[in-house]
Amino acid sequence: MIYDVSYTAIIFFVIFVGLVLGLSFYFGRKTKSASSYYAAGGQIHWSVNGIAFAGDYLSAASFLGICGMIATSGYDGFLYAIGFLAGWMVALFLVAEPFKKLGKYTFSDALNSTFKSRLVTLTASISTLIVSIFYLIPQMVGAGDLVTPLLGFPHWVGVLIVGIIVILIVATAGMTSTTYVQFLKGGLLILLSGILAFYIMKNGFTLNPDHENQPYHEFVELTPVMNGDQVSSVADWNVLSQQNVQGKEFVNLEKDGIERWFMLTEKNDKPVLTEALSITVDENGTQLYNGEPKENGNFYQVGHLSKIVVDGQEVESSGPVNPIQFLNIIKNSELVRFLNVKFSDGNQEVSLYYQEETSGKDFMLPGLKYKIGKDASWWSKMDFVSLMIALFLGTAALPHILIRYYTVNSPRDARKSTILAIAAIGAFYLLTLYLGIGSAINGVMDVESSNMAAPLLAKAFGVILFSVISAIAFATVLGTVSGLIVASSGAIAHDLMDGYFNKNLSDEKKVLAGKLAAFGVGIFAIALGIAFKGMNVSFLVGWAFAIAASANLPAILFILFWKKTTAKGISWSIIMGIFSSLAIILTSPTMWGRYGLSPADAIHQLENPAIISFPLAVITLYLVSISTTKRKVNI
């Protein structure tokens, strides 16, 4: 869709970016030692750290991805929020306090507190880099998605802007500025999400989701003349072609030189053609949106209700509702989602978005994305369980979350920070349910990017709200990417250069090496953010959680709770976790599609690897430790 540049949004964007950079330069003057650069000197107050924890965790995946996933897949999208929150229980009860006692700056420090092993240093630092990079990808993709409606730039420019700003933040002050950026944006994100939820309740439900300066497109229905199963003619239109795709019939019509796609269905036992959205690319690379150049602005925002039931009666609108009424009404009503199919038609490649009426009851139950009922395949059930394992176990093993335990003064403060983070994150995820459903029914969805659901919903309620929400969302990306780059630069400069290669760097050189590493990781993240454009950021984050759960968590738990753990057991467990999870991800149906192949022809149909890679890592750690216990000496 075409986004109009908002100068109000640009002003808020510049203010927030200026504030973030100002904080970085202020703290940068105080950052002289490795301790202050990598761990903020361990002097952050637990309450600030708790909200900063929430800021770290409420990344682009949470605000952009989960809202978009709920808007398109209903309750299945909310499962991500439940999984993300449940993972904090592992962090709170098993990891928080003991991990603070073990470490100094990085994940590798904690694992090596007993062994002083170079092999552990090497594998832990590589694991930190890989997990951080997989977590960086969705943040950068989300940044590009945000900048397009905010500033009117192409996706790749947004990724580039975020990359440059984040490199500046990390290279100036490291963990101290990153912490305060996260504190600021974490608090504002929760506050503004509450305000947006208030607007959703106040607006209630309506069959005509028109908004000021944003009228909703009325989708056309045509009555065709049939010849058997084929459309033979339609009044005032020329019939060009008809395609059967995945059991559904799609018809290409032409009028006044413009081609439009329709889906053939039945209503009251009579055939009817309902208007769809389409993006076509011909053999010369010419891309048309609904048969016209994109600049014509005839590719619409979507998402509406087809039936509203209040207290057993069908109505056209409900008026303001409270949170409980909101959920009851959506459960009894019916909404229209737009699903995507791709196919070839003559010399054109067609990406078509057709209307799918969905009952509110189905929308609020699992099954729209993850098939786990009686009709589900074995692969689908396994994939769902695997995703839940990754989300539950991955949180406590994310490098940028782990290093935040080192920014407070004591293990007790680490636990208190975690409790505050859980409360803040829980409140936010509850709000995402309303934000996602609100996006699905208010005619704001961009079918090309579900990531923009929440910001576009805010835009429908007012440009000021949109401007502030978008600026905060942008700060969300900045803060999370900053934390990830700090973790990555620590792995390179502190673990690899100083620990593994024994460079014996001075404090000043450690800081310099960290800043140079931040620059390199930032450049790499920019390239990945451009390459993965268009993918849902929550889905991408699921991969980062799976790798973290498989490579890092077994090592953390065994070193904390099993005395027979050895350095070789830790190292080979990390290697097995990384190798097995990456192997499954790189051969998954989604990656098959990125390679230009058919996802259906992929080696397997598993998207999320944790159900296999986590047990493999645990078994490896146990067996190797048992076999090397007698040789538990420095390697």
Residues 579-599 pLDDT 10s: 999 999 889 888 887 787 878
Q: DSSP code of 263?
A: E
pLDDT bucket at 234, cuts 50 / 70 / 90: very high
Identity of the amino acid at 420: L
**With contact defined as beta carbons under 8 Å apart, do 156 and 530 qualify?**
yes
Mean pLDDT on 143-149: 72
Both tokens of residue 163? 């990359």
Token pair 């943040």 in the structure block, residue: 139
pLDDT at 3: 61
Residue 446 has pLDDT above 50, yes or no: yes
534-546: pLDDT as tens digits: 666 666 777 888 8
CA distance to 55, 179, 465, per residue, from 188 (Å):
10, 14, 13
606-634 core/surface letters (b: 16 or more CB in 10 A; e: else): bbbbbbbbbebbbebbbebbeebeeebee
Mean pLDDT on 382-409: 80
**With contact defined as beta carbons under 8 Å apart, do 207 and 554 qualify?**
no
Residue 169 has pLDDT above 70, yes or no: no
Mean pLDDT on 206-210: 90
pLDDT bucket at 635, cuts 50 / 70 / 90: very low
**More confidently predicted of 473 and 426:** 426
**More confidently predicted of 478 and 250:** 250
**With contact defined as beta carbons under 8 Å apart, do 5 and 152 qualify?**
yes
Residue 569 has pLDDT above 90, yes or no: yes
Q: What is 51-87 written as a DSSP string? A: HHHHHHHS-HIIIIIIHHHHHHHTHHHHHHHHHHHHH
Residue 634 has pLDDT above 50, yes or no: no
Both tokens of residue 15? 């203010």
Strand, coil or helix: what is 343?
strand
Rounded CA-CA distance 546/553 in Å is 10
Rounded CA-CA distance 474/43 in Å is 27
**With contact defined as beta carbons under 8 Å apart, do 52 and 179 qualify?**
yes
Both tokens of residue 146? 């945000």
Residue 386 has pLDDT above 80, yes or no: yes
Residue 631 has pLDDT above 60, yes or no: no
For the chain, what is the mean pLDDT? 83
Rounded CA-CA distance 401/393 in Å is 13
Both tokens of residue 152? 């009117």
Strand, coil or helix: what is 355?
strand
Residue 60 has pLDDT above 80, yes or no: no
407-442 core/surface letters (b: 16 or more CB in 10 A; e: else): bbeebebbbbbbebbbebbeebbbbbbbbbbbbbbb
Phi-psi sector, 611: left (phi>0), alpha (psi -120 to 50), beta: alpha
Q: Which of 71-80, 102-111, 113-122, 436-445 has the highest mean pLDDT?
A: 436-445
pLDDT bucket at 173, cuts 50 / 70 / 90: low
Rounded CA-CA distance 544/138 in Å is 10
Residue 445, beta-bridge partner list: 302
pLDDT at 617: 95
Q: State phi, psi for 76 to the nearest 5 degrees.
A: -60, -35
The pTM (predicted TM-score) of the whole model is 0.77
Q: Residues of the chain with pLDDT > 90: what percent?
A: 30
Residues with Cβ within 8 Å of residue 376, at least 6 apart in sequence: none
12-37: pLDDT as tens digits: 778 877 877 777 677 666 666 666 66
Strand, coil or helix: what is 282?
coil
Residue 609 has pLDDT above 50, yes or no: yes
**With contact defined as beta carbons under 8 Å apart, do 393 and 87 qualify?**
yes
Q: What is the Rg, in whole angstroms, of the alpha carbon atoms belonging to the chain?
A: 26
Q: Residues of the chain with pLDDT > 70: what percent?
A: 89
Identity of the amino acid at 413: D
192-203: pLDDT as tens digits: 889 999 999 999
pLDDT bucket at 114, cuts 50 / 70 / 90: confident
